[in-house]
């Protein structure tokens, strides 16, 4: 097992801290890393895609799980896979898609590990029907503070605390997941313009497709405030393809651009590029376009084609914000979008989507209703206060802000948003009285 | 922990009665700072400063600390760091001395040097070690533009700050990659009263220095000049030939 001291940040590249990084290749080595932790605790880390500081542990230990990357077994008839927690979703899709199986929940990137997806209880644009990632977990193995391994199944308190538990209940070693049958690796995509936020909300509320989201142009002002492109997708059945295309129906060949250089100057993605990109996207999407075929990789993970795209924001990094509010609280979304538009905040990857029923995870983010997410350069003056204001509005409307993406919340904020936080704390106090599992996020928010 | 905008949750001010230190603390309390420790010689002024910050809603402690007693630094500061994470240390103590008197009484000059340089080196190293152990944090060192090039008018003070400045830069390089961020702040002449008409635009106020520190934390800057144009002025002054430099008007 290699051990080194490295400085780490989240995907947003803000607030770097240094920790001792262990890279176990077996469960035993992972247990050694956990039991041999220092006084500042330990936390597991996957591919480092959490935007904030969820997988950092200043002055302590970080267990890099990407070395534990074996797919143990695939039930190609029943649609079940058992794998290590360090396996990336990319690898799973690569292995499973040719067999006619797909992940029931796919976040905006496939470069996350299974452990990370469970710890953050990720969700995708299909949340309304498919729920979040942990809904499809049949069981998992959890390495606890004393070095013992527990098998955790849904319906237990430990599972509910671990699902979306940000790695604070233990190190997830392996998991068994249910899969979704598909017959092709293609998506049938409909795009439609929505002239303003109300139209976007109405378009999404109508529902119907398996995967739905709205890419909002947060730079548009005036009557066009909140204008969006609605994107709906469905898996294409094989019999809908022409005969020639059926031969490679399940192929998975994601394209890749050259990576973003290591140094990009600050402010490249300022107001003008953000406005231009929004304009291009809106104009580029023809008013209504139905049935366009798209590869799974292009539909779900367009940004994965550009490795290291987070470096485009420059050395100052960026902050990702995601909030969810219930049905009937659309006014909050209006206010947030209006404020961002009025201040001309250069927001990127702004997505509005529907959320279905929440999962059992105590700190799991999705609540039924709406979710709005966007990224902003961290160097934007006054951004801290603006986002605090959004926190307050969201909390007042009974909504919540995603912890896995957070890098800046007030320590008092989560208690108002996550009613099960006391249960989570109590379970951690019992399971891990010494506080072995700690991260910068848990320190910052006193979770 | 610091958040994405570099705002610390806990702050240690070495030199707890420093105007700049307190102005910075006030601004940080308005952001995320909840715990402030003011370190300085026990005095009514220190307690008053603590009470002022408490009114803003922070949990404020005072710590008995003497820059001129380096032997005690390890113990005093060790105790502070043992109480919990300190996300930011502001090294704000320093004395200006009286140039004319100190030239005649060398022991006065020695005290300036010992406070501004020796004391700061010791406290800086102790804090750097503790920050390194916790794997994160910012060490903000208040240097001075006077240290950029010694002037006839205040070379005793200037030389002590020049030493501190070089020390802090080196420390910043030594700590690069350890998660600890060292920021050197070089204010021009700091006035506590509002600037008068016709006064040099390079004169600054504690509030402006505090604002620059907060911005520097957000940007993770390594060197901050206050006001900003001083950077160019200092660079130009460094190139002025000495016969001319010593004749420059003192302001």
pLDDT tens digit sequence for A96-129:
999 999 999 999 999 999 999 999 999 999 999 9
Q: Which residues contact B104 (CB under 8 A, 6 or more apart)?
A: none
Q: Using one digit for the tens of pLDDT, what is the confidence trace for B131-143? A: 999 999 999 999 9
% of chain A beyond a pLDDT of 70: 100
Return the CATH fold of A71-182: 3.30.465
Answer whether A258's CB lies under 8 Å from A308's CB: no
Answer whether A213's CB lies under 8 Å from A228's CB: no
Pull the structure tokens for residue B16: 């707890």
**What residue ranges of chain B have pLDDT lower than 50?**
none
The mean pLDDT of chain A is: 94
Cα(A384)–Cα(A15) distance, integer angstroms? 14
Predicted confidence at residue A164, as pLDDT, reads 95
B2 touches chain A (CB under 8 A): yes
Pick among B5, B85, B138, B218 to test the A interface (most A CBs inside 10 A): B5
- Tell me the mean pLDDT in the region A401-424: 95
**Residue A187 β-bridge partners:** A235, A294
**What is the ipTM metric for this complex?**
0.91
% of chain B beyond a pLDDT of 70: 96
**B133 and A59: CB-CB below 8 Å?**
yes
Predicted confidence at residue A219, as pLDDT, reads 92
Domain with CATH 3.40.462 in chain A: 186-413
Domain with CATH 3.30.465.10 in chain A: 71-182
Active-site option among B117, B157, B167, B225:
B157
Answer whether B65's CB lies under 8 Å from B115's CB: no
Which range (A382-396, A403-417, B188-202) has the least confidence? Answer: B188-202
Domain A186-413 indexed as CATH 1.10.3470: no
Return the CATH fold of B10-191+199-240: Rossmann fold (3.40.50)
Q: Using one digit for the tens of pLDDT, what is the confidence trace for A304-346? A: 999 999 999 998 999 999 999 999 999 999 999 999 999 999 9
Predicted confidence at residue A270, as pLDDT, reads 87
Q: Looking at CA atoms only, how far is residue A59 from chain B in angstroms?
A: 4
Cα(A358)–Cα(A310) distance, integer angstroms? 29
Give residue limits of the domains in chain B: 10-191+199-240
- Kind plus residue range of the DSSP H or E element containing A370: strand A369-377
Q: What is the CB neighbour count within 10 angstroms for residue A265? A: 7
Predicted confidence at residue A113, as pLDDT, reads 97
Predicted confidence at residue B169, as pLDDT, reads 97
Residue B245 falls in the annotated catalytic set:
no
Cα(B23)–Cα(B13) distance, integer angstroms? 11
Q: Using one digit for the tens of pLDDT, what is the confidence trace for A196-237? A: 999 999 999 988 899 999 999 999 999 999 999 999 999 999
Predicted confidence at residue A208, as pLDDT, reads 83
- Nearest Cβ partner of B179 from A7, A52, A443? A7
Q: Using one digit for the tens of pLDDT, what is the confidence trace for A235-254? A: 999 999 888 888 889 999 99
């Amino acid at each position: 097992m290699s051990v080194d001291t490295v400085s780490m940040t989240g995907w947003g590249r803000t607030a770097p801290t240094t920790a001792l990084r262990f890279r176990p290749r077996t469960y035993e080595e992972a247990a050694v890393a956990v039991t041999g932790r220092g006084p500042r605790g330990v936390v597991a880390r996957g591919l480092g895609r959490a935007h904030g500081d969820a997988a950092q542990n200043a002055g302590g230990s970080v267990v890099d799980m990407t070395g534990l990357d074996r797919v143990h077994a695939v039930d190609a008839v029943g649609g079940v896979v058992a794998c290590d927690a360090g396996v990336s979703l990319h690898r799973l899709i690569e292995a499973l898609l040719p067999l006619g199986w797909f992940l029931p929940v796919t976040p905006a990137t496939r470069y996350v590990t299974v452990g990370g997806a469970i710890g953050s209880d990720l969700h995708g644009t299909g949340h309304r029907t498919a729920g979040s990632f942990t809904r499809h977990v049949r069981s998992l193995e959890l390495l606890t503070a004393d070095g013992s391994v527990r098998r955790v199944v849904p319906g237990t308190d430990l599972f509910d605390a671990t699902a979306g538990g940000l790695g604070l209940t233990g190190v997830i070693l392996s998991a068994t997941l249910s899969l979704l049958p598909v017959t092709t690796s293609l998506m049938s995509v409909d795009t439609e313009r929505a002239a303003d936020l109300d139209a976007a909300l109405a378009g999404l509320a109508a529902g119907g497709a398996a995967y739905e989201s709205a890419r909002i142009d947060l730079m548009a002002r005036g009557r066009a405030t909140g204008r969006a492109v609605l994107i709906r997708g469905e898996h294409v059945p094989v019999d809908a393809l022409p005969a020639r295309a059926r031969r490679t129906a399940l192929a998975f060949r994601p394209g890749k651009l050259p990576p973003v250089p290591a140094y990009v100057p600050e402010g490249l993605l300022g107001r003008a590029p953000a406005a231009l990109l929004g304009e291009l996207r809106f104009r580029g999407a023809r008013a209504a376009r139905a049935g366009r075929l798209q590869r799974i990789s292009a539909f779900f993970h367009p940004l994965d084609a550009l490795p290291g795209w987070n470096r485009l924001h420059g050395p100052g990094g960026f902050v990702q914000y995601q909030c969810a509010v219930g049905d009937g609280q659309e006014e909050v979304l209006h206010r947030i979008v209006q404020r961002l538009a009025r201040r001309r905040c250069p927001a990127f990857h702004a997505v509005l989507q529907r959320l279905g029923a929440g999962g059992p995870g105590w700190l799991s983010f999705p609540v039924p209703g709406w979710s709005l997410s966007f990224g902003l350069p961290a160097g934007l003056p006054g951004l801290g206060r603006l986002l605090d204001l959004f926190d307050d509005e969201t909390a007042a409307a009974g909504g919540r802000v995603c912890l896995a993406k957070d890098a800046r919340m007030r320590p008092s904020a989560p208690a108002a948003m996550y009613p099960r936080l006391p249960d989570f704390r109590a379970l951690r106090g019992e399971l891990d009285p010494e506080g072995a599992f700690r991260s910068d996020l848990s320190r910052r928010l006193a979770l | 922990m610091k958040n994405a905008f570099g705002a610390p949750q806990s702050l240690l001010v070495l030199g707890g009665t420093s105007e700049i230190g307190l102005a910075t603390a006030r601004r940080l309390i308005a952001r995320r700072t909840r715990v402030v420790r003011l370190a300085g010689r026990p005095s009514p002024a220190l307690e008053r400063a603590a009470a002022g910050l408490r009114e803003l809603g922070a949990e404020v402690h005072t710590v008995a600390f003497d820059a001129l007693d380096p032997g005690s630094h390890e113990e005093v500061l060790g105790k502070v760091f043992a109480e919990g994470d300190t996300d930011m240390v502001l090294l704000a103590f320093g004395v200006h001395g009286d140039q004319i008197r100190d030239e005649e009484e060398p022991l006065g000059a020695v005290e300036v040097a010992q406070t501004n340089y020796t004391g700061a080196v010791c406290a800086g190293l102790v804090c750097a070690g503790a920050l390194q152990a916790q794997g994160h944090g910012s060490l903000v060192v208040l240097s001075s533009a006077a240290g950029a090039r010694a002037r006839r008018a205040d070379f005793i003070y200037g030389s002590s700050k020049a030493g501190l400045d070089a020390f802090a830069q080196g420390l910043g390089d030594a700590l690069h990659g350890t998660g600890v961020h060292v920021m050197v702040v070089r204010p021009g002449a700091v006035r506590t009263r509002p600037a008068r008409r016709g006064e040099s635009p390079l004169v600054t106020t504690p509030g402006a220095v505090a604002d620059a520190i907060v911005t520097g934390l957000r940007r993770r800057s390594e060197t901050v000049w206050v006001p900003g144009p001083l950077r160019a002025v200092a660079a130009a002054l460094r190139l002025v030939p000495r016969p001319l430099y010593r004749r420059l008007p003192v302001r």
